[in-house]
């Protein structure tokens, strides 16, 4: 497959569709230098983006949290996403929406006079963790921790917050792992680099309290599904020493969907009945 800069197709930029290879920005774009950008990752199933409006609302909220306004309404963002799917003849696809501070009069840390831009791209993308849905993903344990919400806008899906995630995932892949689990600044179990975590013990589900990292839309969906199935869900702080006592584990995220985990560091988990059932149920829901 060609690199992401060298493909056929259309990308929506600032109100119009442009050729994929022409969807470029200037080298002095503020976001490139100071990470002043927010984004959404979404999946379309059978031509319909799952929780599309919620993603568009979160994009606008994320931008406000890092001090800029997206110059489009939810309805306009929705229309742009549909334009991209239609123009590229895609029904099952990953959709990336990005808003950022562009190039303008400011080229220092401050950038209030620079225009805010937005783009939407989409492409076919299979399972994020390959065959892990069958045998369970293998996770490293990152040396980097999710920061305190006093130091970052942890509710924002902002590009700059993923720097330590990229570093953690690179280190994990070098060890033959699919991803890495991260602790938070207090030492509690937090999340993976781009997905939320769930654990099972004695038929009940435990998931880290999302008080310093992104409360994913897939996470919210899965919690509701579990409750509707009559399964107890505990959103709480989880200590590292508790990992040994959990029997099952899985990841949730728009890209990850619901992916069972077989190993985190030295801790092993079975791809058990609850993990398999919620994965299958989620697949049925998004394609309903």
Alpha helices in the chain (DSSP H): 30-34, 52-65, 74-87, 132-135, 163-174, 217-228, 273-286
Bridge partner residues of 148 (DSSP): none
Query: Burial, 115: exposed, middle or buried (Cβ in 10 Å; 0-12, 13-18, 19+)?
Result: middle
First to last CA, the chain: 30
Backbone angles phi, psi at 246, to 5 degrees: -90, 140
**Selected catalytic residue, list 143, 157, 169, 229:** 157
Judge whether 254 and 41 are in contact, CB under 8 Å: yes
Q: Is 10 a catalytic residue?
A: no
Nearest 5°: the CA angle 230, 232, 237 is 155
**Which residue spans within 62-203 are E strands per DSSP?**
93-101, 116-123, 137-146, 179-184, 189-192, 196-201
User: Could you give the residue numbers annotated as active site?
Assistant: 157
């Amino acid at each position: 497959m060609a690199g992401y800069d060298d493909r056929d197709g259309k990308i929506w930029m600032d109100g119009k569709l442009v050729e994929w290879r022409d969807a470029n920005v200037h080298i002095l774009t503020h976001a490139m230098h100071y990470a002043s950008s927010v984004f959404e990752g979404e999946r379309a199933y059978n031509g319909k983006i799952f929780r599309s409006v919620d993603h568009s609302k979160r994009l606008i909220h994320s931008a406000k949290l890092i001090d800029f306004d997206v110059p489009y309404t939810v309805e306009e963002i929705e229309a742009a996403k549909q334009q991209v799917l239609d123009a590229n003849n895609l029904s099952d696809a990953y959709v990336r929406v990005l808003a950022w501070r562009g190039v303008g009069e400011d080229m220092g840390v401050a950038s209030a006079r620079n225009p805010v831009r937005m783009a939407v791209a989409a492409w076919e993308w299979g399972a994020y963790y390959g065959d892990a849905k069958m045998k369970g993903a293998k996770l490293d344990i990152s040396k980097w921790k999710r920061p305190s919400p006093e130091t970052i806008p942890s509710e924002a899906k902002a590009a700059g917050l993923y720097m330590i995630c990229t570093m953690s995932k690179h280190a994990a892949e070098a060890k033959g792992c699919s991803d890495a689990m991260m602790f938070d600044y207090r030492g509690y179990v937090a999340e993976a680099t781009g997905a939320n975590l769930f654990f099972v013990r004695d038929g009940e589900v435990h998931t880290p309290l999302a008080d310093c990292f992104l409360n994913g839309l897939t996470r919210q969906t899965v919690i509701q599904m579990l409750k509707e199935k009559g399964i107890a869900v505990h959103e709480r702080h989880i200590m590292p020493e508790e990992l040994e006592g959990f029997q099952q584990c899985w990841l949730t995220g728009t890209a990850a969907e619901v992916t069972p985990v077989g190993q985190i560091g030295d801790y092993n988990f079975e791809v058990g009945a609850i993990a398999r059932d919620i994965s299958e149920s989620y697949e049925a829901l998004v394609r309903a």
